[in-house]
C-alpha cells in the first residue's frame, strides 16, 4: 500500500489535469447527488467546507442552503491558535482570507456541535470503508472529532481509492458522495 504522502501526490497530479470546465461539470453532478441525500433534505443545520480550486465547489451550494432556511457553518481559523472551529455563516456577513487562502467568516460565531445535523467535508482521497485522507494537517479530523452528525466526504469519483492507510487520530466518514455515486459506509 502506498503511503499517505504518495497518495496525496498521485491525487494532486490527477486533480491538476482537470480543467475548470471539468471541475464545474463534475462538481454540479456531485452537488446534485448531495442534494438528494435524505440527511441533507431533513437537516436544519449543516457544517460544510469552503472549497479550494480543485475541489467540488461548495460556495453556491452553501448560498442555496442559506436561502432555503438552513443554518450553515464553515471552518474558521481561531486567531492566536493553531486550529479551526466551526463558525456560523451570516447571510451578507463579512468574510476574510484565511491562513490557507480559503474564505472564512470575518467574525467568529461559535457553534454548538449538538445543533449540527450533517457535516460535509473535503478529502484528498477516501476509501469505501470511510477512511478519509486529508491534506495532512489534521484540521478536518479535529473538527469532526466527537461530532455525532453524519460525516459526508464530497469528492470527485477518481478520489475514491480501494484503500487508504489509517492513523489512530483519523476520523472516518459515513457517506461518500461523488459525481457518479453515493456510497454509504457499512457499519
User: What pLDDT, on a 0 to 100 scale, did the predictor assign at position 48?
Assistant: 98
Q: In which band, very low, low, confident or very high, does the pLDDT at 136 lie, cut at 50, 70 and 90? A: confident
The CA angle 5-6-8, to the nearest 5 degrees, is 65
Residues 47 and 71: their CA atoms lie apart, in Å, by 9
Per-residue cell: 106: 470575518
| DSSP per-residue string spanning 94-145 | -EEE-TTS-EEESS--B--GGG-SEEEE--SEE-TT--EE-SSS-HHHHHHT
User: What pLDDT, on a 0 to 100 scale, did the predictor assign at position 38?
Assistant: 97
Average per-residue pLDDT in the chain?
A: 94
Q: In which band, very low, low, confident or very high, does the pLDDT at 82 lie, cut at 50, 70 and 90? A: confident
The sheet carrying 118-121 orders its strands as: 84-88, 71-77, 45-48, 118-121, 151-154, 175-177, 182-184
Which residues sit opposite 175 in a β-bridge? 152, 184
Q: In which band, very low, low, confident or very high, does the pLDDT at 154 lie, cut at 50, 70 and 90? A: very high
Report whether pLDDT(187) > 80. no
Strands 151-154 and 125-126: unpaired
Domains of the chain: 4-70+114-184 (3.40.50.10420)
Q: Average the pLDDT over 38-44 and give the result.
A: 97
User: What pLDDT, on a 0 to 100 scale, did the predictor assign at position 155?
Assistant: 97
Q: In which band, very low, low, confident or very high, does the pLDDT at 186 lie, cut at 50, 70 and 90? A: confident
Instruction: Count, in order, helices (H) and strands (E) of the chain.
Output: 5, 11
30: nearest Cα among 166, 103, 126: 126
Amino acid at each position: 500500500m502506498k503511503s499517505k504522502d504518495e497518495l496525496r501526490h498521485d491525487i494532486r497530479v490527477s486533480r491538476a489535469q482537470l480543467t475548470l470546465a471539468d471541475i464545474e461539470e463534475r462538481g454540479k453532478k456531485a452537488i446534485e447527488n448531495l442534494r438528494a441525500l435524505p440527511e441533507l433534505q431533513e437537516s436544519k443545520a449543516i457544517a460544510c467546507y469552503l472549497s479550494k480550486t480543485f475541489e467540488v465547489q461548495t460556495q453556491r451550494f452553501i448560498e442555496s442552503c442559506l436561502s432555503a432556511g438552513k443554518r450553515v457553518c464553515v471552518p474558521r481559523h481561531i486567531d492566536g491558535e493553531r486550529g479551526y472551529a466551526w463558525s456560523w455563516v451570516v447571510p451578507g456577513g463579512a468574510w476574510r482570507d484565511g491562513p490557507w487562502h480559503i474564505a472564512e467568516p470575518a467574525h467568529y460565531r461559535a457553534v454548538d456541535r449538538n445543533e449540527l445535523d450533517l457535516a460535509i467535508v473535503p478529502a484528498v482521497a477516501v476509501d469505501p470503508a470511510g477512511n478519509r485522507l486529508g491534506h495532512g494537517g489534521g484540521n478536518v479530523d479535529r473538527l469532526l472529532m466527537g461530532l455525532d452528525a453524519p460525516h459526508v466526504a464530497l469528492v470527485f469519483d477518481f478520489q475514491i481509492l480501494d484503500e487508504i492507510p489509517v492513523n489512530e487520530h483519523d476520523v472516518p466518514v459515513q457517506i461518500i458522495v461523488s459525481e457518479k455515486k453515493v456510497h454509504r459506509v457499512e457499519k
